[in-house]
Amino acid sequence: MRNILLAIDLQKDFIYGALTVPGATQVLPAINAVKDRFDFVYFTLDWHPVDHCSFREQGGPWPVHCVHHTAGAALDPGVLEGLPEEKMRFILKGRVQSPEEYGAFVGFDPDNQDLFEPGDVVVICGIAAEYCVLESLKNLYAISEKIGFTVQVYLEGTARFDSYDTVLAFMAEKGLAEYRK
């Protein structure tokens, strides 16, 4: 059994940049307080092209954010501090112009992957609860049903625009536990 922390989109644009999520700076200390307890830490990254469909200029709802190879797309450096390279994995999402991909595991093939094993415990957290965390949680739950691992949610390490309601409702519907440090 391996313990895996799945940290969603801890990127500068979401923390203090183009698309700042309220409370994002507070999740960093919460995540840093627990990251060393995990065998692996997987980081997802929005990695958008300059003409991504989610941008207002392309008819989407969001300001330009997390454009690949820009400072705003970088992880906050504090979350990487002290983590040995062999414990980290990086998962890019939203890499093509269309469609929008809030979830980190859209099109994921559970039979052809090396991220998860039967018996793992995967704890999800990050930015933002109502969008990328929720959709990644839904993806992760479906994958866990096929592979056979446990999913938990670290709410203290999750920022939100307005509320945790959608995440809490999904957790209740699927019987998922909250991770407590």
Rounded mean pLDDT of the chain?
97
Q: What share of the chain is helix, strand, coil (3-state, %, to 5)?
A: 35, 25, 45
Phi, psi of 46, rounded to the nearest 5 degrees: -65, 135
Catalogue the active-site residues: 9, 46, 48, 54, 65, 93, 100, 128, 132
In which element (H, E) is residue 30 found?
Answer: helix 24-34
CATH of domain 3-178: 3.40.50.850
pLDDT at 33: 97
First-to-last CA distance in the chain? 18
pLDDT band at 63 (very low <50, low <70, confident <90, very high): very high
Q: Alpha-carbon distance 115 to 110, whole Å?
A: 9
d(CA 101, CA 155): 22
The per-residue pLDDT for range 7-35, each reduced to its tens digit, is 999 999 999 999 999 999 999 999 999 99
pLDDT above 90: residue 181: no
